[in-house]
Chain A
Amino acid sequence: MISQLFILSSKGDRLVYRNFRGDGGDDVTDAFYRAVTSLPGDQAPVFMAREGQHFVHVRHGGLYVGATTTADTSPFVLVEFLNRLVTLLREHCGTLSEKSVSVNVALVQELLGEMVDFGYVQTTATEVLRSATHGEPETTKAFSLLDLRSVGLFGAETQQSRVAPGSVTNRPVLPPRGEQGGRREVFVDVVERLTVVIAANGTPLKVDVQGEIRLKSFVPGACELRMGLTEELSVGTEEQCGYGRLPLAAVAFHSSVDLEEFEQERVLRVTPGPGEVTLMRYQLAEDVAVPLPFRLLPSVEWEPAGRLRIHLKLRCDLPPKNHAINVVLQLPLPREASSLAQELSSPEQTAELQGGGRSLRWAIPRCQGGAQLGAVFRVQLPPTPPLGLGPAALTFELPALTVSGLRLRWLRLSAPPGAPPGPPQRWVRHLTHSDSYVVRL
């Protein structure tokens, strides 16, 4: 049961506030913000008890989306509901930020009114809410010349118009009323998160791959969607885990997915309404050898008078046609470093000291598969033995690649009767990003 619900900006300003049950003072948001900010550590616990009230909140896009509740409520329901609320706000407002929420206050209030009554969740289905709300989303994005890049030059198909830019999904899923057309598009993303720990001798200690197939549909009305997954897939304890198979340890499907053809042909069938839905969550079996995208070969020399010479060699083991972007390496240093001298292999790379000199940050905007990058850093430290260096943490994104090898073979759409002619645009995107990629030194 939810007593009050609120959205606060990062500075504690009240953007949306709703008191569902009329109990508790209206100053709860101030109490909440005080509690959150006065907690030690950089982040606050999700649940807090203050003066007989329980707060629960999630943070998204710098906003606090929070609620007060009673003790016997399921914490999973609360967290899941708040996360769902965030997704819905994204769907309706395009993006979630202080600006977009305050511009769309009327719509957000309308949504909340339909979603929760007297503190009880009524519905969170996009289509239902769509029919029950009447407000129009106002997008906050200003006109920008850069957006024109997806327009073909004199109607010619350029390279760029074939690639969906990353921000294209950041718009309300529902076209404004009256405009029947809109851009009818379906996005299917296969996103994997990679959690890796590599021991000092280079052997992987832990490789954890979690993946999701997300669907975001901008097509009004229902249309049937069929997608074929990699055929080598095998789930759980099935006996066919031979060579070349892709064994998944755990799979969970969204309740709307029709699995009739999954066992035999690895085909998912779903009839989505507009909105975002996670069709499938999976986890790669632990004993599968996944090719790791990066190797780090460090060598550290301790020079007298507190100088530390760190030579890092970063090898990108991706196939040559793939590449990694936004690669950042963080290396904690044993003491506060006072100065840094660097030799990097290309000008677009940068290196700097962070956290008052306690860590070194090496940023590489783009790294082609098969490349090997070297860097030499000289750090000035207080003159004590160089213990406690590392472990190094890498963050990166691998576009158009899934490390597990799970891919969408094909995607077919059958338009509903009465739909405008021409099939909706289909986009399939694959992406791997590092949740945590730690190399011990």
Chain B
Amino acid sequence: MPYLGGEEALRDLRRALSNPHVQAEPLRYRAAVLRVIRLMTQGADVSGLFAEMVKAGAAADVVQKKLVQLYVCAHAPRMPRLALLAVNTLRRDCADPSPAVRGLALRGLCDLRMPGMQEYVQQPLLSGLRDRASYVRRIAVLGCAKVHRLQGDAEVDGALVNELYSLLRDQDPIVVVNCLRALEEILKKEGGVVINKPIAHHLLNRMADLDQWGQSEVLAFLLRYRPRSEEELFNILSLLDGYLKSSSPSVVMAATKLFLVLAREYPHVQADVLVRVKGPLLAACTSESRELCFTALCHVRQILSSLPGHFSSHYKKFFCSYSEPHYIKCQKMEVLCELVNDENVQQVLEELKGYCTDISVELAQGAISAIGSIARTYTEQCVGILTELLGLQQEHITSAVVQAFRDLVWLCPQCTDAVCQALPGCEDIIQDSEGKQALIWLLGAHGEKVPNAPYVLEDFVENVKTEVFPAVKMELLTALVRLFLSRPAECQDMLGRLLYHCIEEEKDMSVRDRGLFYYRLLQSGVDEVKRVLCSPKSDPSLGLLEDQTEQPVNTWASEFNTLAPIYGKARWALVTAHQPGEPCYAFSPCTDSGNRGTGSLISEGSKEVLKVHPDTGSLTLIPDVVLTAEQFEKTWLSLDISCQQSLPWVGTVHPDTIQTALHVVHIQTIAMSKAGVQPWKAYFTAQDDSGCLFLTELLLEAEDSGMQVAVKQSEAKPEALQAFMSVFRTAVGAVAGLRS
């Protein structure tokens, strides 16, 4: 950007800064310094003025000093030798009679991020810790943390830590909070600042002196304190009671979290707190600040995941306002889906229906899929509304409705007839790939119930040459082969034409291969085709997998009031894994119906399991753990059983299916009985990223008796065990669900 920091401008500034006439006039001098700062903020390179700026820092004007410090701190790491010039001025200012100047200089000194600073900082820092003015002490305390960070992995100075611990008793509340912050950073490797009983009670007593930022932070530090007795616990909770009513949402939320975590063994206390925090949360949800509103909505969803009925009576608060931005409307619709119950379903649906005709395409489609997800419980009403929407004959609405239908039919087979009656006429309106795929899938899978299904598909076959989306072509192939099985006379001719086109003229390799696959499959006889293609047309059990409702409060209490609920579970797992590029394993049951044959059950099962995996949050299992059978046996015998459960299971076991399903979630098989043997046994192992081993035994004594699971853990970590059990249960559950 030559116009910002051109040579010319720099030369001008240098001339101005070193001009004795300018230096003699404080206001002109300050204006020149300010111009440098402006250039720097805009991103220009002003490092050439370092010497002049350091000199400007020696002036008496405090504003100018601050500006120069800003400049010096930004440039010091790159030019340490010149920065030493500034150190002298700053050290002299550290002994200034004015506390403001002392504090400022000390802050500047500690902010110089360059190696070798310790020897200059040490002495002013120590005298700063004992300064009379609290302003200087606040800065000195944080300065300790800054210097420690600069030294990297240097050893912790025990004397300094003791000094900081004793400063926790300082009379200035901000010094106290800063001490906690500094100790936390300095002792990071040892697990952070220790909150023992005296410190905890001291902090509780000082709470009232703090401002809202201090309060929320101290409440967060108190999370790590474990009260010794029930009496102490309830004493603490009653001391903190007032903070649940604070006017600042951040304090209320921090207090809520502390309550939830401290009372982890008292579910009724937790429930009580969540009731009391309802009011402040709802107020934040309707706050004027969109950003606060969004944050609160995310936390409402978190609470709803454990207590589905919690906000049901306040459902009107979550109706979208006309002027709200998209991201809030979307959150609100999600909340509405989750709190729907018998009493409010009518009003909620009425409201969502209003959004379906919104001018914004995304919002309209979001509302339609929201109705689609409510339809899993209130099928009849929702299908009625969705059918009504088809009458609007709007491209984006029809497409979204048909997609909602497709997902619904898979989960709630009882609505198939109603859906099939609504379908005719949609084909002329839908233009996008997703919508077309959904329509074609529905016609293929349930074509026997739609009288004109072959003719609709015939139109698609006619136009296949001009079709731009390969996915639509694939879907068309599968659907037509399926329809051919139920209505051969009407489909034979066009199936031939479609296969000819796909094999001879199609340029997309995957479509061509799919065409060849079906061609060969058809050659092997109708029975074989039926065996491969005619899988169940719906699977209500997937619905249970998708929303594992009512997880206990304790699973998310430690994540409450962090960024985790903001991102949502699936994205949070990706964000924390530092793999922003990794695709999300969102599984829509019908996008890939082509391989929905019995032979591909396992791969479908694994997709399900993969989707479940990011949900486990804190638990990360390492793939490819090497553990020999002997090692396993030795460890198994040396440990006690940490968890024992019985999983529902009917019929015999297919060892391969289980092995594959568990392998996908990084649980390795050690040994397992052959299929059909009774009692059937299997042993598995897994290891999480902290090195904790999970050894598992599966035992099926007789058919219909249920699967017995026993887990042994090498380190006692209840949370990890819980997460592991949920992964294991889901994986085995998925296999069981697919089998039935």
Query: Which A residues are closer than 8 A to B by beta carbons?
Result: 13-19, 21-22, 26, 40-47, 49-52, 54, 56-59, 71-77, 79-83, 102, 105-106, 109-110, 113, 117-118, 120-125, 132, 134-135, 193, 195, 197, 205-206, 208, 210, 249-250, 252-255, 278, 281, 283, 286, 330, 332, 334, 355, 358-359, 384-385, 387-388, 391, 393, 395, 435-438, 440
Nearest CB on B from A229, distance (A): 17
Which of A49, A124, A210, A254 interacts with B247 by CB under 8 Å?
A254
CB contact list, B254-297 vs A, under 8 A: 254, 279-280, 282-284, 286, 288-292, 294-296
Q: Is the CB–CB distance between A252 and B323 below 8 Å? A: no
Residue ID in chain A nearest B296 by CB atoms: A76
Given contacts A47-B567, A79-B291, A250-B279, contact A132 B250 (CB under 8 A): no
Q: Is the CB–CB distance between A76 and B178 below 8 Å? A: no
> Inside 8 A of A52's CB, which chain B residues have their CB?
578
Q: Is the CB–CB distance between A206 and B316 below 8 Å? A: yes
> Inside 8 A of A254's CB, which chain B residues have their CB?
247
A57–B292 Cα distance when bound, in Å, is 11
We find that the number of chain B residues with CB closer than 8 angstroms to chain A is 90
> Which of B62-70, B440-448, B593-601, B682-690 contacts the other chain?
B62-70
Which of B77, B295, B316, B562 interacts with A79 by CB under 8 Å?
B295
Q: Is the CB–CB distance between B247 and A281 below 8 Å? A: yes
Does B42 make an interface contact (CB < 8 A)? Answer: yes
> Which of B303-311, B386-394, B417-425 contacts the other chain?
B386-394
Q: Is the CB–CB distance between A50 and B357 below 8 Å? A: no
Nearest CB on A from B274, distance (A): 16
Q: Is the CB–CB distance between A105 and B38 below 8 Å? A: yes
Q: Is the CB–CB distance between A109 and B562 below 8 Å? A: no
> Which of B118-126, B139-147, B522-530, B583-591 contacts the other chain?
B139-147
Q: Is the CB–CB distance between A79 and B283 below 8 Å? A: no
Q: Interface code B55-84, partner A: CB below 8 Å = 1, 0 otherwise?
A: 000000011001100100010010000000
Q: Is the CB–CB distance between B283 and A14 below 8 Å? A: no
Does B216 make an interface contact (CB < 8 A)? Answer: yes
Which of A74, A283, A393 interacts with B253 by CB under 8 Å?
A74
Q: Is the CB–CB distance between A45 and B289 below 8 Å? A: no
> Inside 8 A of B37's CB, which chain A residues have their CB?
105-106, 109
Which of A16, A47, A80, A120 interacts with B249 by CB under 8 Å?
A80
Residue ID in chain B nearest A436 by CB atoms: B321
> Inside 8 A of A358's CB, which chain B residues have their CB?
359
Q: Is the CB–CB distance between A77 and B247 below 8 Å? A: no
Interface of A is mostly: mixed
Residue ID in chain B nearest A102 by CB atoms: B38
Please list 29 pairs of residues, one from A and one from B, whose beta carbons are closer than 8 Å in the complex, sorted by A's number: A16-B41, A17-B41, A52-B578, A56-B291, A57-B291, A59-B290, A75-B295, A75-B561, A76-B295, A76-B561, A80-B292, A83-B289, A83-B291, A117-B107, A117-B178, A118-B142, A120-B178, A205-B347, A206-B316, A208-B316, A208-B317, A210-B283, A252-B245, A252-B283, A286-B316, A332-B358, A359-B359, A384-B393, A438-B321
CB contact list, B1-56 vs A, under 8 A: 30, 34, 37-38, 41-43
Q: Is the CB–CB distance between B283 and A250 below 8 Å? A: yes
Residue ID in chain A nearest B278 by CB atoms: A250
Residue ID in chain B nearest A280 by CB atoms: B247
Given contacts A79-B289, A384-B393, A391-B354, contact A355 B359 (CB under 8 A): yes
Q: Is the CB–CB distance between B67 and A109 below 8 Å? A: yes
Does B213 make an interface contact (CB < 8 A)? Answer: yes
A391–B63 Cα distance when bound, in Å, is 55
CB contact list, B103-147 vs A, under 8 A: 107, 113, 135, 138-139, 142, 145-146
> Inside 8 A of A286's CB, which chain B residues have their CB?
316
A330–B322 Cα distance when bound, in Å, is 10
Does B519 make an interface contact (CB < 8 A)? Answer: no
Q: Is the CB–CB distance between A76 and B67 below 8 Å? A: no
Q: Interface code B382-406, partner A: CB below 8 Å = 1, 0 otherwise?
A: 0000000001111000000000000
Which of B247, B354, B564, B580 interacts with A253 by CB under 8 Å?
B247
Which of B43, B351, B359 interacts with A14 by CB under 8 Å?
B43
Q: Is the CB–CB distance between A206 and B211 below 8 Å? A: no
Nearest CB on A from B318, distance (A): 10
Q: Is the CB–CB distance between A81 and B213 below 8 Å? A: yes
> Inside 8 A of A43's CB, which chain B residues have their CB?
290, 325-327
> Inside 8 A of A74's CB, which chain B residues have their CB?
216, 220, 250, 253-254, 561-562
Q: Is the CB–CB distance between B62 and A283 below 8 Å? A: no
Select the residue from B43, B216, B321, B362 with max chain A CB neighbours within 10 A: B321
The 6 closest A-B pairs by CB, nearest first: A436-B321, A43-B325, A393-B322, A388-B357, A76-B250, A121-B213
Nearest CB on A from B172, distance (A): 11
Does B248 make an interface contact (CB < 8 A)? Answer: yes
> Inside 8 A of B247's CB, which chain A residues have their CB?
252-255, 278, 281
> Inside 8 A of B362's CB, which chain A residues have their CB?
40-41
Nearest CB on A from B548, distance (A): 24
A79–B213 Cα distance when bound, in Å, is 12
Does B181 make an interface contact (CB < 8 A)? Answer: yes
Q: Is the CB–CB distance between A106 and B322 below 8 Å? A: no
Taking A195-B321, A250-B279 as known contacts, 13 extra A-B pairs with beta carbons closer than 8 A to each other, sorted by chain A number, are A14-B43, A42-B326, A50-B580, A71-B575, A75-B566, A80-B292, A117-B139, A120-B217, A121-B213, A124-B211, A252-B247, A436-B324, A438-B322
A438–B66 Cα distance when bound, in Å, is 51
Q: Interface code B514-541, partner A: CB below 8 Å = 1, 0 otherwise?
A: 0000000000000000000000000000
A117–B175 Cα distance when bound, in Å, is 12
Q: Is the CB–CB distance between B322 and A436 below 8 Å? A: yes
Q: Is the CB–CB distance between B327 and A46 below 8 Å? A: yes
A174–B384 Cα distance when bound, in Å, is 62
Does B174 make an interface contact (CB < 8 A)? Answer: yes
A124–B576 Cα distance when bound, in Å, is 31
A46–B565 Cα distance when bound, in Å, is 13
> Inside 8 A of A72's CB, which chain B residues have their CB?
562-563
CB contact list, B160-195 vs A, under 8 A: 174, 177-178, 181
> Inside 8 A of B392's CB, which chain A residues have their CB?
334, 387-388
